[in-house]
Structure 1
Amino acid sequence: MIQRILLRQAGRPRARRASRILLAVAAMAALLSVDMPDAAAVPPLGVTATALPDAGVARVGALFADDLDGGHFCTAAVVRSADRDVIATAAHCLDHPDTTVFAPGYRDGAAPYGVWRLTDVHLAPDWTDGRNPDDDIAFATVARPDGARIEDVVGAFPVATEQSDDVTVTVLGYPSTLDAPLRCSNATGLFSPTQRRIDCPDLSGGTSGSPWLADGALAGVLGGYEGGGTVPEVSYSAVMGDQALELYREAAVSAG
């Protein structure tokens, strides 16, 4: 009798455990869907399309001259840092840092996560001295009047170096003629030992500084050779090497 009672009681927790597992799986799927765009919404390789809003796209924004009325001219992305306040872009986008502001997730004239002013910039010496295209990458710290940290608001991309020569990346950027970001993924190739190339149409002026994301990590920014390219169909990024990594570390550990 005791054995039968125990068996009946044991069956109930088993059913409850199965129910909990199903709920946990559903919850995990919901969490993952926040960070990963719907596969149907991602264009095929080599095709450029409007980037639909998702958690990753929110970390990418447009750079403006002074405010949203000043027109956006470059793109930047939030990267991980100790003080949670660092963005990455092309060095040639930061010629006027005192009047440059960043609007992550900018779309259709609105800045859903606020407007952030640059508080400090980190440029390679070879860029500052001679605008070396191999050093056309920069990091900057940003702040908002309410004291919020941008990484707490939208999240951030890790930074990755030493990618394979043919790594596939996703580029997210804002042409200056559009008020929404574009997305294009494709395999890359080495144009030179220090420059990487990608074939993606319609990445025109304003997409300079756009993050090149390999498996969700920043592997470069649109810039470098010829300022990122002279035609919208072919774009470039300086290879993320030791100099870029050192620059990132400098920005990531500085007081914000």
Structure 2
Amino acid sequence: MIQRLPSRPDRRSRARARARGRRLARIPLALAVMTALLGVDVPHAPAGPPLGVTVTAPADETAGRVGALFAGGLDDGHFCTASVVRSQDRDVIVTAAHCLGGPETTTFAPGYREGRAPYGLWKLTGTYVAPGWTDGEDPDQDIAFATVAPLDGEQGADLRIEDLVGGFPVAPRQPAGATVSVVGYPSRDDSPLYCANTTTLSSGTQRRIECPDLSGGTSGSPWLVDGALAGVLGGYEGGGTVPEVSYSAVMGDQAVELYREASDNG
């Protein structure tokens, strides 16, 4: 191999290099932060049961970021599922848009299990829903974000939920056959269920998974690809009319914009 000595750049080359360096230095910090939130350096999920088998979710880091949505307190029953995602102010959760019909009375209990809320109850302080859902309940827009704060300041007004349980990075636009893990709370159960399986696209905007026992209450459950959020249970048929087959709207530009808005305004 012939080795060539690097030539010395002329004065114009050095000036162009300095100008390029100044332009790169002016890239907004917010862009770098959002890139980190959108799923860079995501760890792989630990091994679980065989694909397509639903089991009780282990009490691990993943399940700690997922919780039940209650219509008030723990005695009022849970009706949907939500999870914590990474955000600049560390206070954002994600669920299905159809789960946010009464945000004033909805509370979130991350890590809820057997009647206990180990990380307390959290009230919703803001909701971020696509106009397509608000105006016409478009199933392709059945994903929403919300900001939360401790209920009645019980854990300290300055405490942020992500500081307690961490948050899932967001990973939109996954391939059609991605393997997805789902963690959610059927209304009849006080512990979350877990199932993973390969998915298919039932349309260009809806993702489909076959997992048994994901019945009412699992709406809003995170769909995780290698530990990052790729959607939530919802969308077509409200997420599915039978427990064996579930759906999620494909996360596209509108969902990412909602996420950015919630993250910026939290």
Q: TM-score range by the shorter chain?
A: 0.7 to 0.9
- Cα deviation, residue 36, structure 1: 8.0
Segments ≥4 residues shifted beyond 4 Å: 35-38
Aligned ranges 1:30-179 → 2 under 5 Å: 39=47, 42-144=48-150, 145=153, 146-147=156-157, 148-179=159-190
Give the secondary-structure state (helix, strand or coil) at the position aligned to 1:246.
Answer: helix
TM-score, with structure 1 as normaliser: 0.84
Equivalent pairs counted in the alignment come to 219
1:229, 1:236 within 8 Å by CA — same for their partners in 2? yes
When the two chains are superposed, the root-mean-square deviation of aligned CA atoms in Å is: 1.1
1:36, 1:54 within 8 Å by CA — same for their partners in 2? no
Give the corresponding residue for 2:19.
none
Matching residue's letter, 1:212: W
**Partner of residue 231 from structure 1, selected from 235, 239, 242:** 242
Aligned ranges 1:207-222 → 2 under 5 Å: 207-222=218-233
- Cα deviation, residue 56, structure 1: 1.1
Structure number having the greater helix percentage: 1
CA distance in 1 between counterparts of 2:46 and 2:131 reads: 41
Query: Unpaired segments of 5 or more residues in structure 1?
Result: 1-34
Instruction: Encode CA deviations 1:84-116: one digit per residue, 9 max, x unaligned.
Output: 000000000000000000000000000000100
CA distance in 1 between counterparts of 2:104 and 2:227 reads: 30
CA distance in 1 between counterparts of 2:45 and 2:142 reads: 29
CA distance in 1 between counterparts of 2:104 and 2:175 reads: 37
Matching residue's letter, 1:214: V
Give the corresponding residue for 2:4.
none
TM-score, with structure 2 as normaliser: 0.81
Query: Unpaired segments of 5 or more residues in structure 2?
Result: 1-42
Matching residue's letter, 1:158: P
2:206, 2:249 within 8 Å by CA — same for their partners in 1? yes
CA distance in 2 between counterparts of 1:38 and 1:214 reads: 12
Check 1:43–1:83 CA distance in 2 against 1; reply closer, same or farther (3 A cut). Answer: same
